[in-house]
């Protein structure tokens, strides 16, 4: 099986080389790396030039990560698609593990695993172990990380389910929920697939607010209002969020995620 990894990037010169090298060093050989650059001006494109034909890339303005991912999907020729952002890296055997599962389980549409958080020097800060798939929790909490998610292209993107450009800060939560609503099968593999680099530009307060707004809009698509009163609906939403966080914490305890 061929694997297509798509990397959306904008001014990522400080991290993009490590990202590319992590795929070049993968234990699985049949991988194409597609990089969709939004018109970087910091030297990112010069780095991409140095890698020659080992990466496929384009550079042009886009409408956010969801738009960039859709462009990458249109270029992809693999059977499996993954998203690796420019400040992320895969572990050496991650792609091989995913391919092995997909080959042995043709009914699986989405595979996701765990991941690490590292500092800019690559030192491990913590490991994020996730729960097994829970459709109801996914409506409220996007516990699946894009770095650890892989899609069977034929049953997801080729079936017409693409990323929604409206959601610039929570496109992943929207996409996972639409796949789940379409009856796609998710499987969690208890293995860290990669590392996300924590750095000063990765999650500002302004971005957190925008993520919250997008996330709530997505949740409300699957959680209709229970009252004509905005106040009651707000209290219900807050209550369900608190309940979901507690339920997830209990699941993580039972599944050994905090060990």
Tell whether the model's pLDDT for residue 204 goes beyond 60.
Answer: no
Q: Please tell me the predicted confidence (pLDDT) of residue 205.
A: 55
Region 185-200 average pLDDT? 95
Is 174 within 8 Å of 164 (Cβ atoms)? Answer: yes
Q: Please tell me the predicted confidence (pLDDT) of residue 19.
A: 97
- Percent of the chain at pLDDT > 90 equals 89
Q: Please tell me the predicted confidence (pLDDT) of residue 226.
A: 87
Q: Please tell me the predicted confidence (pLDDT) of residue 208.
A: 79
Tell whether the model's pLDDT for residue 71 goes beyond 70.
Answer: yes
pLDDT one-digit tens code per residue, 115-160: 999 999 999 999 999 999 999 999 999 999 999 999 999 999 999 9
Q: Please tell me the predicted confidence (pLDDT) of residue 179.
A: 98
Q: Please tell me the predicted confidence (pLDDT) of residue 225.
A: 81
Tell whether the model's pLDDT for residue 228 goes beyond 90.
Answer: no
Residue 203 — very low, low, confident or very high, per pLDDT cuts 50/70/90?
low
Beta bridge partners of 12: none
Q: Please tell me the predicted confidence (pLDDT) of residue 201.
A: 72
Which is higher by pLDDT, 226 or 89? 89
Tokens of 173: 């939560």
Tokens of 172: 């992943």
> What would be the CATH architecture of the domain defined by 3-254?
Alpha-Beta Complex (3.90)
The region of weakest confidence among 157-171, 183-197, 202-216 is: 202-216
All structural domains of the chain with their residue ranges: 3-254
Tell whether the model's pLDDT for residue 216 goes beyond 80.
Answer: yes
Question: How far apart are the C-alpha atoms of 27 and 30, rounded to whole Å?
Answer: 10
Tokens of 67: 């738009």
Question: How far apart are the C-alpha atoms of 104 and 133, rounded to whole Å?
Answer: 19
| Closest to 8 in 3D by CA, of 124, 60, 86, 91 | 86
pTM of the entire structure? 0.95
DSSP for 42-100 reads: SSHHHHHHHTGGGSEEEE---SSHHHHHHHHHHH---SEEEE--TTEEE-TTHHHHHHH
Question: How far apart are the C-alpha atoms of 34 and 52, rounded to whole Å?
Answer: 12
Tell whether the model's pLDDT for residue 87 goes beyond 60.
Answer: yes
Q: Please tell me the predicted confidence (pLDDT) of residue 206.
A: 63
Tell whether the model's pLDDT for residue 46 goes beyond 90.
Answer: yes
| Closest to 122 in 3D by CA, of 204, 21, 24 | 21
Coil vs helix vs strand at 121 = coil
Q: Please tell me the predicted confidence (pLDDT) of residue 224.
A: 79
């Amino acid at each position: 099986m061929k694997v297509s990894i798509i990397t959306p990037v904008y001014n990522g010169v400080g991290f993009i080389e490590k990202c590319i090298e992590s795929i070049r060093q993968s234990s699985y050989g049949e991988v194409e790396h597609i990089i969709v650059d939004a018109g970087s001006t910091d030297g990112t494109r010069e780095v991409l030039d140095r890698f020659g034909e080992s990466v496929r890339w384009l550079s042009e303005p886009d409408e956010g990560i969801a738009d960039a991912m859709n462009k990458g999907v249109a270029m992809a020729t693999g059977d499996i698609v993954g998203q690796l952002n420019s400040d992320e890296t895969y572990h050496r055997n991650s792609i091989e593990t995913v391919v092995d599962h997909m080959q042995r389980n043709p009914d699986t549409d989405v595979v996701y695993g765990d991941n690490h958080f590292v500092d800019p020097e690559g030192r491990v800060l913590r490991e994020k172990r996730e729960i097994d798939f829970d459709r109801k929790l996914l409506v409220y909490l996007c516990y699946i990380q894009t770095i650890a998610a892989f899609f069977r292209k034929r049953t997801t993107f080729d079936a017409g389910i693409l990323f929604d450009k409206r959601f610039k800060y929570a496109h992943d939560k929207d996409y996972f929920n639409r796949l789940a609503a379409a009856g796609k099968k998710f499987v969690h593999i208890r293995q860290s697939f990669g590392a996300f680099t924590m750095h000063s530009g990765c999650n500002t307060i302004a971005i957190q607010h925008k993520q919250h707004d997008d996330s709530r809009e997505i949740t409300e698509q699957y959680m209709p209002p229970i009252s004509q009163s905005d106040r009651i609906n707000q209290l219900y939403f807050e209550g369900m969020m608190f309940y979901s966080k507690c339920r997830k914490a209990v699941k993580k305890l039972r599944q050994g995620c905090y060990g």
